[in-house]
Structure 1
């Protein structure tokens, strides 16, 4: 009898696992998207000194990402709902203004220089700024930032083409592959908008990366290339997921390859959910570092959040739903008539603008369809 009961229980459990793992991800409704965007609209619309959420970050890099990922999310939303395009253009312009003023640019600019195309050396800053400029040009072909977009694109292309490893520094002596994928996505978007030849360099970069910027054992992108200032660093979940976001914009086939390798080497499929490690074969529980955050049995929050956006971008709807369940387990929605934002489930902690922007970007990943070519 006990054997039959156990067998019956196993069958029921198996059916439930299949049933729960089968549903696929769907974009939030139009109403939900507008509520989710309203919080970020408030953040980018308010002067930095009057925004406690940004001040609480205490980190210019995280403030930068709050602005950039908000702009990318707004651009995604404009693709999913064309009526949102004028608002998306307006709020993206406000985010760009925040990027060009205040503590964000001060953290990355040579203090003695004016804000010119060569006064900032950080590809982290320039790459995101240039992609935001491209987003605004996409949303508004009469963008007042056209001249800056053209000059920054030319500068990035020139410097990337001549740089060792075809990668630029984010900080003095520090080169990260993920930050360079943002700059490359910005060059591709410039080509899409204007017909410039930068897309050719993007293809050349992918060919170079396959040979020189990937781990020989897995074929996955390194987190850092070897330079005279640093050793190469292995592929990491948070860095790889970030890179796939932007590879998808300029090298979709390569992005799909990296995504499949990410699943194969970093993830465990539990049926109902799927979890991604920060490092291959590592199951440590620790505080992690600034990129991974806390590690629980080797799993990191960024690795899973970025994998969710990767799955949405690559239309892997079933895996996207598994990862959405992971996010839903650790967070809860706080809804007002105007806004939907997130808080941490089980404990009374707020979620930062950076996390809100990243998540809205991830859950709205979609192709960027272009207006007729801008002048």
Structure 2
């Protein structure tokens, strides 16, 4: 009996080794194209009450914004990985920018008392993503008609960030979040890569400042919110950290890698074949969470794990990326319809929102962008 028990234990350990060892591999080109087709259709559908993008934006303006922005980032990743996709990525990106500038998303962030135009919006959440999308289009298509807007918006963001308390701008009146500001930083870095502008120097200065003033003393991780006269500082949160690392990777890969290591150390548990990330360090609560984290089960949240997956892909941690991809696969099922592929929730008849599809495609294709001055 003892030998049988020992054999069973060794067999189990062997299986755990087998399942935990393989490294993440990029999905096949055909599969990625099918996923991109789904997002292109969502973006291409004219705004209206029956549009998925419109419905999503009406439910939450951020969800519509992130559907557009993360689709563009995913298309840019794919074009970097497969040059034959570049022209299609540029066309789809231009359409997404048009939706950002004049559709329901822009209306949701615009001050209704100010005249029409992107400069009537002060939210760094909207402007940071818009500017990064403009940079992506310029990267994909150097003759982009948005070059002048990209230059002026980059100059405006840089000027405002330099002057802002804590070098962070508000997303909503009185509400300042660090992760939203990392998007603006990435957009300034991309502008420098494309044009030779000096904004990359400020990105380095911001990181140096963040190390001293925007990190938690205990973990060394970026705060979710800095202290301002309108708000108290908020501790690091998993969903915010994973988000910030996405964009720090674009402007300071070394700092992104450092934050990723600390995030893994303080927020995750390795179960062998899978690894799970918590929303808050040392917290094991089960609750409905908040709008960013979603429901928490023993402290673990879906966004924390999904974003950590993209972080692992970006930073070349293939084994951890594969562990996290397994977590995503456990709860999802693929649905192929015509020339499109999207996801549903496993075991129940629930669809996955276009925003989640865009976030996942971006995460699984994370790669450096080919940034050369033009």
- TM-score tier (shorter): over 0.9
Residue correspondence of structure 1 range 44-123 to structure 2 within 5 A: 44-49=43-48, 51-57=50-56, 58-116=59-117, 118-123=119-124
Answer whether contact 1:245 1:310 (CA < 8 A) is retained: yes
Answer whether contact 1:117 1:155 (CA < 8 A) is retained: no
Identify which range, 311-320 or 117-126, moves more after superposition: 117-126
Residues 44-79 of structure 1: per-residue CA shift (max 9 Å, x gap): 111121653223321111100000000000000000
Answer whether contact 1:185 1:250 (CA < 8 A) is retained: yes
Measure the CA separation in 2 of the matches of 1:72 and 1:50.
Answer: 26
Answer whether contact 2:101 2:118 (CA < 8 A) is retained: no
- Give TM-score, length-normalised by structure 1: 0.97
Q: Secondary structure at the match of 2:120?
A: coil
Q: Residues 143 and 125 of structure 1: is their aligned pair in 2 closer, same or farther, counting only changes over 3 Å?
A: same
Measure the CA separation in 2 of the matches of 1:197 and 1:122.
Answer: 23
Measure the CA separation in 2 of the matches of 1:40 and 1:310.
Answer: 22
> Aligned residue for 1:212?
213
Answer whether contact 1:25 1:320 (CA < 8 A) is retained: yes
> Aligned residue for 1:157?
158
> Aligned residue for 2:235?
234
The alpha carbon displacement at 1:33 in A equals 0.8
Measure the CA separation in 2 of the matches of 1:368 and 1:193.
Answer: 11
The alpha carbon displacement at 1:138 in A equals 0.2
Q: Secondary structure at the match of 1:141?
A: coil
> Aligned residue for 2:38?
39
Answer whether contact 2:43 2:53 (CA < 8 A) is retained: no
> Aligned residue for 1:243?
244
Identify which range, 113-122 or 150-159, moves more after superposition: 113-122
Q: Residues 240 and 166 of structure 1: is their aligned pair in 2 closer, same or farther, counting only changes over 3 Å?
A: same
Residue correspondence of structure 1 range 1-375 to structure 2 within 5 A: 1=1, 3-49=2-48, 51-57=50-56, 58-116=59-117, 118-371=119-372, 373-374=373-374
**C-alpha root-mean-square deviation of aligned residues, in Å?**
1.0
Measure the CA separation in 2 of the matches of 1:285 and 1:302.
Answer: 15
Answer whether contact 1:220 1:261 (CA < 8 A) is retained: yes
- Where structure 1 has 5 or more consecutive residues not aligned to the other structure, the ranges are none
- Where structure 2 has 5 or more consecutive residues not aligned to the other structure, the ranges are none
Answer whether contact 1:240 1:262 (CA < 8 A) is retained: yes
Answer whether contact 2:43 2:96 (CA < 8 A) is retained: yes
